[in-house]
A and B are shown apart, each in its own frame.
Chain A
Amino acid sequence: MKTARLLCGFAVGLGFAGAALAQSTLRIGLAEDPDVLDPTLARTYVGRIVFAALCDKLFDIDEKLNVVGQLALSQQASTDGKIVTIKLRPGVKFHDGEPFNAEAAKFSLERHLNMQGSFRKAEIAQVDKVEVVDPLTIRLLLKAPFAPLIAQLTDRAGMMVSPKAAQALGDKFGTAPVCAGPYKFGERVPQDRIVLERFKDYWDKDRVFIDRIVYRPIQDSTVRLANLKSGQLDLLERLLATDVEEVKKDAKLRLATGTELGYQGITMNIGNGERANNPLGKNPKVRQAFELSLDRDAINQVVFNGLNKTNNQWISPLNPYYMPKYPTPKRDVAKAKALLKEAGVAMPLALDFMVPNNPESRAVAEVMQSMAAEAGFDLKIRITEFATSLNEAEKGNYQLYFLAWSGRTDPDGNIFSMATCSGPLNYGRYCDPTVDELLTKARTATSSPERKLIYEQAAAEILPKGGILYLYHRTLLFAHTTRLAGFKVMPDGLIRVTDLKLQ
């Protein structure tokens, strides 16, 4: 009797185990542990990767960077650009079963705008009021026309949260987020894993094929790749350029690439404190000489095996706003020397070059150091831990600063805060009232061709005289096992989980 009961229990146990095994789980290796999982309070790039499965937005982008509806069906701006009417998708539910409607959209947007500590406030600060027109229509009343608004709503500012859960949890919403994405929150063990479960009532459920997603932060890129190779992961982000060949050679792995929305560049101290008082900070000719001393293609070849896209602008050549009339200048040491002579600079010109501490940045800095030396620049590389480097940049304690920007969908996000006189990211304090005026105008212009024209006018000033020397756009590198099908790299680098299948 006892044995029979035991056997019975064992069989039931096996049955459960079988059911558990039948569940498909996608394991994704992240380069960092995300911060708080509240779209209003979150601030990291890596957190956005998790949100892509958890929280749907009003709008999304497609592979060609076009804005498409997600929880919104359409949008219409008034002729003066100050009223934007958004039609919402019907039949959408939040993970807690609450309906998504105009009231919920109004609540989410107002939460982004008013919640204490909101990181979204600045992104949609032009929104003065949100009105409910009917159960599936909202109207945004703007303080002034703001062209990047819809692009902002393709990111965290457009993420919708369940009003009921958000009210109940307050600023602890990030501990158990309730949104309307294809997956709902399961559990989080900080620094170990974030588990999401398939949401059965998702509005687009026919495109969701995997039961569970586990995100695992593994900081060391070598270890991340070892986990993929040993079958502990199915997909990883931020593969190192130097590991690309290894992935290509492995029959069980696949490489997926795309070009980032952001850029890597050198911020030059033009007007931030005492240290700006040097020929590079004061004379645009010296800055041009510095640019001519560098060979972007050679840097790309040496450090990144030619994988990145070299460029001299804040948006990549794949972006519709790219300006072909300003091609990347080729390296010309003779011309660089002539410019330095013209500027009356005593050579070698010693410059303090602050570089955040990571292997790739260090390598790029060293290649640049030897290139610039040929033209008469003596770059003194100062490797600095990232948080410290931000502080130093803010205080103006540098002359050159190697810094990346992760990029935004709208070109405004890549230039306004860095090139306007009071822009919070303008560490070099480059300031030109004409540029301020043009970049503000580009925000209020409503048609794309008109905006592109304004950006071209601004670029004529910024590129030769500005505070940032753009070098290249990094290639987004992902590796996955052959088990995973349907993975596409999106321009924002975030992992879209719909249409993914495990074979």
Chain B
Amino acid sequence: MLKFLPRRLLQLVPTLFLVSVLIFGLQQLLPGDPALVMAGEERDPAVIEQIRKQYRLDQPLPVQYFHWIKGVLTGDLGESMRIKQPVARLVTEKLPVTVQLATMAMLFAVLIGIPAGVLSAVKKGSAWDVGANVFALWGLSTPNFWLGIMLIFLFSVQLGWLPASGFVSPFEDFGQAIATTVMPAFVLGNAIAAVLMRHMRSAMLQAIGSDYVRTARAKGLVERTVILKHALRNALTPVITLGALEFGTLLSGAVLTEQVFSIPGFGKLIVDAVFNRDYAVVQGVVLVTASVYIVLNLVADVLYVLVNPRLRDQG
């Protein structure tokens, strides 16, 4: 049944190799010399020279790549030039933060987007439909950083209900964890909810107009059952795929939202590293994110095969 799996696993090797070359190569295109940035305000030539030597910046690119990839293969992602901490440690510190934020954002997106999409399809042309469409338009067109700052002003500065920024782990203090994540998660989830709502609506409309729904109605089933058990179930498949993709994007870090709410996640880590030309951090984090994405894709493919018997023989 999963005959294709060994082949797909083998395909991972050249894919990851290509990704690593791309990450390394694209970064070299960034203007600016990391040694100059790292040398502090004084920029003493001896110090610059020393940094170049220490981080092998004075060596040809293939040599630099070889040293990096050799480390990666042994589990060493290198060390941050700026704060002198292992990149692997930074990644393991930031990953739970990003996962927590992404999960809550998805929760918001699903809780808002799916019911709104269903409602708007079932009551097509009604005030509900218009309202849901307006919401979708708002969600898609509102910039995250603006919405974030507005929420901070309303709920933190004016009302004083929620902390304006920061991050608390749920294992440390569950209440505080929710309080610090709710605003940024809403900001992120809001935009995704809009996308999910639009897809849910069109998938539902298609399902409602299909023969099996007509048959179900002809059998005399209650409308609620027709919608929830027959139409929704089938309409959900493309929406789930979309949701999974959006979740993957969230895991790679929500740069602007993390900046506005000062959340120490992947997005903030990458942006700061790019501005500081902290190459090892950029390479390490992007490599991890890309690998997670590739593996998630593989998992999705496996799941499709398990769910859809028609795909089993095709591999």
Which residues of A are at the interface with B, using a C-beta cutoff of 8 A?
A: 33, 35-36, 38, 41, 43-45, 116-117, 119, 121-123, 171-172, 174-175, 189-193, 216-220, 222-223, 226-227, 229-232, 385-388, 390-392, 394, 405-406, 417, 424-425
B: residues with CB less than 8 A from A are 31-33, 36-47, 50-51, 54, 80, 82-85, 90, 93, 149, 152-153, 156-157, 160, 163-167, 259-262, 264, 268-269, 272, 275-277
Among candidates A223, A388, A424, residue contacting B31 with C-beta atoms closer than 8 Å:
A388
A121 to chain B, nearest CB (A): 7
Task: Decide: B149 and A223 in contact? CB cutoff 8 A.
Answer: yes
Complex interface: chain B residues within 8 A of A35 (CB): 82-83
Flag if B40 contacts A38 (CB, 8 Å): no
Collect the chain B residues with CB atoms within 8 Å of residue A219's CB.
Answer: 259, 262
Residues B41 and A405 in contact, CB atoms below 8 Å apart: yes
B32 and A227 contacting across the interface, CB-CB below 8 Å: no
A107 to B: closest C-beta gap in Å: 20
B41 touches A36 (CB 8 A): no
Given contacts A117-B50, A191-B269, contact A216 B42 (CB under 8 A): no
Interface residue from A33, A192, A405 paired with B167 (Cβ < 8 Å): A192
Asked if residues B156 and A190 are in contact (CB atoms below 8 Å), the reply is: no
B244 CB to closest chain A CB, in angstroms?
28
Task: Please state if B275 and A121 are interface contacts (CB–CB under 8 Å).
Answer: no
Residue contact B39 to A43, C-beta cutoff 8 Å: yes
Contact between B45 and A216 (Cβ–Cβ < 8 Å)? no
CA distance A189 to B260 in the complex (A): 18
Given contact pairs A216-B262, A394-B33, A405-B41, A230 touches B157 in the complex (Cβ within 8 A): yes
Closest to B274 in A: A387
Asked if B38 contacts A43 (CB within 8 A), the reply is yes
Establish whether residues A424 and B84, one from each chain, have CB atoms under 8 Å apart when the complex forms: no
Q: How far is the CA of A41 from the CA of B83 in the complex (A)?
A: 10
Query: Which residues of A lie under 8 Å from residue B80 when comparing CB positions?
Result: 190
- Contact check, A171 vs B84: say whether CB atoms are below 8 A apart: yes
- Of the candidates B42, B90, B260, the one whose C-beta lies within 8 Å of that of A122 is B42
16 contacts between A and B (CB under 8 A): A35-B82, A36-B83, A44-B40, A117-B47, A119-B39, A175-B84, A190-B90, A192-B264, A222-B149, A223-B149, A223-B165, A227-B164, A230-B160, A387-B31, A417-B42, A425-B42
* Interface pair A218/B90, CB less than 8 Å apart: no
Chain A residues in 8 Å Cβ range of B276: 387
Query: Which chain B residues lie closer than 8 Å to A175 at the CB level?
Result: 84-85
A226 touches B264 (CB 8 A): no
Closest CB in chain B relative to A119 CB, distance in Å: 5
User: Among the interface residues A116, A121, A219, A392, which one has the most CB atoms of the partner chain B within 10 A?
Assistant: A219
Q: Which residues of A contact B39 (CB under 8 A)?
A: 43, 119
The list of the 3 closest CB pairs from A to B, nearest first, reads: A43-B40, A387-B32, A192-B264
Min Cβ gap B227→A in Å is: 43
List, in ascending order, chain A residues with CB within 8 A of B153's CB: 226
Residue from A43, A172, A190, A385 whose CB has the most chain B CB atoms within 10 Å:
A190
Cβ–Cβ contact B50 & A223, under 8 A: no
Nearest chain A CB to B302 CB, angstrom units? 35
- Asked whether, in the complex, the Cβ of B83 is within 8 Å of the Cβ of A190, the reply is yes
B123 to chain A, nearest CB (A): 40
Contacts of B37 in A (CB 8 A): 387, 390
Are B264 and A190 neighbours in the complex by a CB distance under 8 Å? Answer: yes
Query: Is the pair B160, A231 in contact by a Cβ cutoff of 8 Å?
Result: yes
Q: Which residues of A contact B32 (CB under 8 A)?
A: 385, 387-388, 390-391
Cβ-defined contact, A385 with B33, below 8 A: no
Within the assembled complex, what's the spacing in Å between the Cα atoms of A360 and B288?
Answer: 37
- Nearest residue (CB) in B for A37 is B83
CA distance in complex: A36, B84 (Å): 6
User: Is B38 in contact with A232, judged by CB distance below 8 angstroms?
Assistant: no
CB proximity of A39 to chain B, nearest CB, Å: 13
For B43, list chain A residues within 8 Å (CB).
Answer: 390, 424-425
Given contact pairs A226-B149, A226-B157, A227-B164, A172 touches B42 in the complex (Cβ within 8 A): no
Contacts of A116 in B (CB 8 A): 50, 54
- Most B CB within 10 A of own CB, among A38, A41, A119, A406: A119
Complex: how many Å from CA A219 to CA B263?
11
Q: Which residues of A contact B262 (CB under 8 A)?
A: 192, 216-219, 223, 227
CA distance A231 to B50 in the complex (A): 44
Q: Which of chain B's residues have a CB closer than 8 A to the CB of A123?
A: 42
Query: Contact between A424 and B36 (Cβ–Cβ < 8 Å)?
Result: no
Choice from A43, A174, A220 contacting B260 with Cβ under 8 Å? A220
Q: How far is the CB of B261 from chain A (nearest CB, A)?
A: 8
Q: Whole-angstrom distance between the alpha carbons of A36 and B269 in the complex?
A: 15
Instruction: Let me know if A226 and B156 touch, CB within 8 A.
Output: yes
Question: A119 is contacted by which of B33, B42, B152 (Cβ under 8 Å)?
Answer: B42
Pair B164/A232 contact, Cβ less than 8 Å: yes
Known contacts being A43-B40, A119-B40, A218-B262, is A223 close to B160, with CB within 8 Å?
no
Indicate if the CB atoms of A191 and B165 lie closer than 8 Å.
no
What's the nearest-Cβ distance from chain B to residue A179, in Å?
17
B50:A216 contact, CB within 8 angstroms: no
The verdict on A223 contacting B260 (CB below 8 Å), with A36-B83, A230-B156, A424-B42 known, is: yes
Q: A43-B38, A387-B276 are in contact. Are A192 and B166 (CB under 8 A)?
A: yes
Q: Which residue of the partner chain B has the closest CB to A188?
A: B83
Determine the distance from Cα of A222 to Cα of B152 in the docked complex, in whole angstroms: 10
